[in-house]
Amino acid sequence: MTIQTIPTQPFPGQRPGTSGLRKKVRVFQQPGYLENFVQSLFDTLGDCAGQTLVLGGDGRYHNRAAIQTVLRMAAAHGYAKVLVGRGGILSTPALSCVVRKHGALGGIVLSASHNPGGPDGDFGIKYNIGNGGPAPESFTEAVYRRSGAIERYRISDGAAVDLDRLGAARCEQMLVEVIDPVADYAELMRGLFDFAAIRALFGAGFTLCYDGMHAVSGPYAQAILEGELGAPAGSVINAVPLEDFGGGHPDPNPANAGELIARMAAPDAPDFGAASDGDGDRNMIVGRGIAVTPSDSLAILAAQATLAPGYRKGLAGIARSMPTSRAADCVAAALSIPCVETPTGWKFFGNLLDAGLVTLCGEESYGTGSDHVREKDGLWAVLFWLNLLAVRGGSVAALVEAHWARYGRHYYSRHDYEDIDSDVAGALMQALRGQLAQLAGQTLDGYTVALADDFSYTDPVDGSVSSQQGVRLIMTDGARIIYRLSGTGTEGATLRVYLERYEAEPAAHHLPTQQALAGLIAVADRVAGIAARTGRGAPSVTT
């Protein structure tokens, strides 16, 4: 076994996006592609000698090969130890948990989250720092700069490690510990939620359907929901992680989790439905005949948080991404705690959580989490909901409606225009920015624009500024239209239009969402010229 130094040349475009470097599997399969990025990462980190790294992925195609490459490179850079999940598996929140618990220098997640997998699908790599959360932009930009100048990488020529056998192995001097991917995470959950109450709920006949979408969260959900909490066997469907996610699109929203939505609409629907994404950090909560919006879910968890043992002391504050609805703001106001508005991307919550400024965080993109780790956490959200239902009784729908009755309802929808030409998308955003000054004060189809801007965020902890984070039109009645381009796609550009309207009156809380937002939808198209510029008469995905 020796450590080799291999000459290489930069690959263009190794710039991490909203959540790590994501490319087609075939791009990652090019000789040296992953190696270059990992070397740039290790160069940016500096001296890793004696440190611990946590490593795991969502089990998608190319995961096992990539894990072996990273192990051999870590060994060449003097890491003392790598903790790797059995089978190369660690959900994103579980990796965050393991990094924190074992005092690792950081962790590498191999995942493209909710993007499809398989040989023609996507792959990705993301670095998390010692707090367990995604590396900040200043760091990922430094990695990107380094990737443009790289000339060699260092790698051991040691044999592949058996990822399926728990226990210790060696690569060069480095200890490789293959760990149970669920154990540390399950222990953390036991400390946060009332497992006895949830067990009693299932004991009393409560039924659940959790859709693992053939992605990473199946084994976690089976071990915790069925194994520990007594949900009937078979409550977790599509539970086995597959390299291509069974051909599905592991993004838990009503559009992709069709099987679950159909089950929840059937006459014999279970009491509670949920789904998670490729790497287990997203969640969707569904009741009989109702899909809870992620924005509402955050607000409801915040309002009821003290019913869960881990949050009995109350919340320091709440944070939400800018396009997430302002439902959480209403709860924060009632609790007299701050609600911080950040750009899209979980990494922006890290500083706020580390500084103790906020306890719960959430995003419209089906992400919810807290200060227990530094990632959003799909199964955590499911356990939180189960804890609330176990303590309060009643149905998901009843809990949501009671929340609206008290705080008002924020009708909310996101319209995605996927895979549009990048130049067209860029020009559309540019044109919007050019109109901002004229838009303020204008009345459009009955909506008067109170504020039109391009969202800019100053991190209250380190003072760093992130600008151009989305064009906002905020109306005098609080309604909002937000436009931004996705930072997670791998093909063309995706325009996201976020629509929100507040309704205080309970008698008006039961309109179909698209109908309730029809006026705003028309304004959004008119202002941005979406149909005219993209040739698309309708969004490709509506959630």
Active site residues: 113
Closer of 154 and 496 to ligand G6P (Cβ): 496
* 19 is a site residue for ligand G6P (CB under 6 A): yes
CB of 347 to ligand G6P, least distance (A): 7
Least distance to Zn ion, CB of residue 112, Å: 9
Q: Write down the least CB distance from residue 194 to ligand G6P, Å.
A: 28
Q: Are strands 283-287 and 290-292 parallel, antiparallel or unpaired?
A: antiparallel
Which amino acid does the sequence have at 18?
Answer: T
Q: Report what 329 binds from Zn ion, ligand G6P, none; CB cut-off 5-8 Å by kind.
A: none
Pairing mode, strands 272-276 and 283-287: antiparallel
Binding mask 55-94 for Zn ion (x = CB under 5 A): ----------------------------------------
Taking residue 534's Cβ as centre, other Cβ atoms within 10 Å add up to 18
In the bound state with ligand G6P, the residue whose beta carbon lies nearer, of 113 and 413, is 113
**Count residues contacting Zn ion (CB under 5 A)?**
5
Give the residue, chosen from 211, 271, 363, 371, that forms a contact with ligand G6P under the rule CB under 6 A: 363
How many residues bind ligand G6P, per CB under 6 A? 14
Give the residue with the Cβ less far from Zn ion, 231 or 239.
239
Q: In whole angstroms, how close is the CB of 342 to ligand G6P at the nearest point? A: 10
Restricting to residues 482-521, name those near ligand G6P by CB under 6 A: 486-488, 496
Select 52 or 488, whichever has its Cβ closest to ligand G6P.
Answer: 488
In angstroms, how far is the first alpha carbon of the chain from the final one? 52
345 lies in the site for ligand G6P, by CB under 6 A: yes
- Give the Cα-Cα-Cα angle 347, 353, 358 (nearest 5 degrees): 120
SS3 labels along 429-485: HHHHHHHHHHHCCCEECCEEEEEEEECCEECCCCCCEECCCCEEEEECCCCEEEEEE
When CB distances are held under 5 to 8 angstroms depending on the partner's kind, the choice from ligand G6P, Zn ion, none that residue 279 binds is: Zn ion
- In whole angstroms, what is the distance from residue 108 CA to residue 503 CA? 43
Question: What ranges in 106-173 are assigned the alpha helix state H?
Answer: 137-147
CA 497, CA 456: separation in Å to the nearest integer? Answer: 18
| 113 is an interface residue for Zn ion by CB under 5 A | yes
Of 44-52, 359-367, 403-411, 532-540, the window that binds ligand G6P (rule: CB under 6 A) is 359-367
Q: Is 277 in the site for Zn ion (CB under 5 A)?
A: yes
Pairing of strands 3-7, 152-156: antiparallel
Interaction mask 284-323, ligand G6P, x per CB under 6 A: -------------------------------------x--
User: For the window 77-116, what string marks contact with ligand G6P as x by the rule CB under 6 A?
Assistant: ------------------------------------x---
Work out how close the CB of 367 gets to ligand G6P at its nearest, in angstroms, rounded to a whole number.
Answer: 6
Q: Does 279 bind Zn ion (CB under 5 A)?
A: yes
- Tell me the closest approach of the beta carbon of residue 116 to Zn ion, in angstroms: 13
CB 206 to ligand G6P: min, Å: 30
* Binding site partner of 122, from Zn ion, ligand G6P, none, Cβ cut-off 5-8 A by kind: none
Smallest distance from ligand G6P to CB 441, Å: 29
Site track 373-412 with Zn ion (rule: CB under 5 A), x = hit: ----------------------------------------
Specify the stretch interacting with ligand G6P by CB under 6 A; choose among 79-87, 363-371, 456-464, 499-507: 363-371
Phi/psi class of residue 28: alpha, beta or left (left: φ > 0; alpha: ψ in -120 to 50)?
Answer: alpha
Q: Compute the Cα dihedral for 292, 293, 294, 298 and give only its sign.
A: negative
Q: Which amino acid makes up residue 247?
A: G
Residue 68 or 486 having the CB closest to ligand G6P: 486
Q: How near is the Cβ of 458 to Zn ion at its closest, in Å?
A: 27
DSSP string, 3-27: EEEEE--PPTT---BTTBEEEEHHH
State which of residues 226, 251, 281, 416 lies at the interface with Zn ion (CB under 5 A).
Answer: 281
Number of helices (H), then strands (E), belonging to the chain: the values are 18, 27
In the beta sheet, which residues pair with residue 410?
502
State yes or no: residue 344 binds ligand G6P (CB under 6 A): yes
Q: CB pairs under 8 A, 24+ apart, for 448-453?
A: 448/475, 448/476, 449/473, 449/474, 449/475, 449/476, 450/474, 450/475, 450/476
47: burial class by Cβ within 10 Å (0-12, 13-18, 19+)? Answer: exposed
CA torsion sign for 415, 421, 426, 428 is: negative
Structure tokens at 209: 């359907």
Residue 349 is a binding residue for ligand G6P (CB under 6 A): no
Tell me the pairing of strands 447-454 and 457-458: unpaired
∠ CA 372-70-126, nearest 5°, is 40
Q: Using CB under 6 A as the criterion, which residues of the chain lie in contact with ligand G6P when the complex forms? A: 18-19, 113, 321, 344-346, 363, 365, 367, 486-488, 496
Binding site for Zn ion (CB under 5 A): 113, 277, 279, 281-282
